[in-house]
Amino acid sequence: MLENLRVTFSIVFPFLAYMAIGFFLKRIGAITDDFAAQANRLLANVLLPVNIFNSLYNKDLSSAFRTPAALYCAVGVLLMTAVLMWLVPRWEKDPAKQGAMVHCGVRSNSMLFALPIANGIFGYEVPEVVIVLAVIVLVNNMEAVPMMEYYRGKTPAYAGRQEKSRFSLKGMVLGWLRTPLLIGVLIGTVWGLLRIPLPEPCAKVVSGLSGVVVPLAFVVLGARLDFSHLKANRRNVMRMVLVKLVIAPAVFMAWPMAARWSPENIVAVLAVFGAPAAIIAYAMTEYYECDADMAGEIISLSSALSLFTMFLWIFGLKQSGLIS
């Protein structure tokens, strides 16, 4: 038990330290909001896609596409969306707040948060985890636009305007195809399946850029923590954080654990349902005229607490022998 505690702490502590450093640097003015926003765009548009490519291009992907976790997680996310769209209106009557709560409830910071955690558990990039997370990115992008259009259309301010919805199926599909994360997955997958050799100088560049991702991502995450508006929305924020970090992982981890899935598949499910709310949910909530302040509070609190819940999950899985 003590050894599992030590190993689990060694996995989680660097991420906690990075976030604490980012939080501290923001408070003393060494990191500004503009820098954090630009760094986050750099991560999403360049560094994370490169990191995903690095996780796939030189791996044997023959077993990764047979993982049961991909379909399981995709169905789970859609089911969770339906449940939250039914449940949240019973907690909150304001459509703008409903949109923020549902969006943050179903959209996880998996690529930015859980992928490094998974790599920390195994000590190397696991193709199964990357493939599952790529499927979830696709599912999230598919449902986010129509879902947020639905909640924006319910807000009184928008309902009173005589403008048509900006939802477009063609635009949505083009948006998927232009998503940098999915581009990184596609290129890395094709490269890996075709076994195309990457010249050593190029491999060093790819590896070097990938090495920047974890420290920068968590420092930026710590810098973006903001609890200034928490008091006004405390009850609903706490409800969504409880759903995000406790109820959802407990429900969706039950079957993989009972069925004794492989460690890689179990960690992939944990990576999807145990991660905090996605940072991008703030920008999308604001764009679709819902309550961006509430979205920011859910993202901040779930991010701050997720390392502790992830610690407990990893420790419990190690104690039960489901991961080594």
Q: Alpha carbon of 146 to those of 103, 141, 150, 208, 304: distances in Å?
A: 11, 10, 6, 38, 29
Mean pLDDT of 186-199: 80
Q: Which residues of 122-156 are buried (b: 16+ CB within 10 A; e: fewer)?
A: eeebbbbbbbbbbbbbbbbbbbbbebbbbbbebbe
Query: Rounded to two decimals, what is the model's pTM?
Result: 0.82
Angle between helices 48-56 and 200-223 (to 10 degrees): 130
DSSP-assigned letter for residue 290: S
What domains, with CATH codes, occur in the chain? 2-319 (1.20.1530.20)
pLDDT of 130 > 70? The answer is yes
Q: Which residue has the tokens 């339906």?
A: 82
**Tokens in use for 123?**
């000590």
pLDDT tens digit sequence for 47-66: 888 887 887 777 666 666 67
pLDDT tens digit sequence for 135-179: 888 788 778 878 888 888 777 766 555 555 555 556 556 666 667
What dihedral do alpha carbons 163, 169, 171, 175 form, nearest 10°? 130
pLDDT tens digit sequence for 71-121: 899 999 999 999 999 999 999 889 889 999 999 999 888 777 767 777 778
